[in-house]
Amino acid sequence: MVGPEGLGSRAVWDRVNAGLKGETISRASVINFLEAMREAGVLKGDEKTGKGGHRWIYSPSMSEAQFKQHIARTILESLLRDFPEETAEIVNKIR
């Protein structure tokens, strides 16, 4: 669970690697993912300066329900853009 102050990339990296049970992922990969999610509006990022210099603290920018809607909308918009006829056909079948 993320506290109200959020987490830095190192804490996220530590938790991700702990969950991988023997596998590891680079810290750069985690940072790139966090930044992509911040740029997409899924995460908020607060810049902090302290010992060690400048860093970002990440926290959710939306509720779980809003996140689910964001993902569904993103996927549907992509499908409509890339496969408009096929997507429209499927949407009409499920209505």
Residue 57 above 70 pLDDT? yes
Measuring CA to CA, how many Å separate 72 from each of 6, 19, 68, 78?
Answer: 25, 26, 6, 10
Question: Residue 13: its pLDDT value, please?
Answer: 96
Question: Residue 3: its pLDDT value, please?
Answer: 60
Task: Give the span between the Cα atoms of 41 and 68, in whole angstroms.
Answer: 13
Task: Give the span between the Cα atoms of 41 and 35, in whole angstroms.
Answer: 10
> Taking residues 27-51, what's their average pLDDT?
94
Residue 33's contacts (CB-CB under 8 Å, 6 or more residues apart) are none
Question: Residue 2: its pLDDT value, please?
Answer: 61
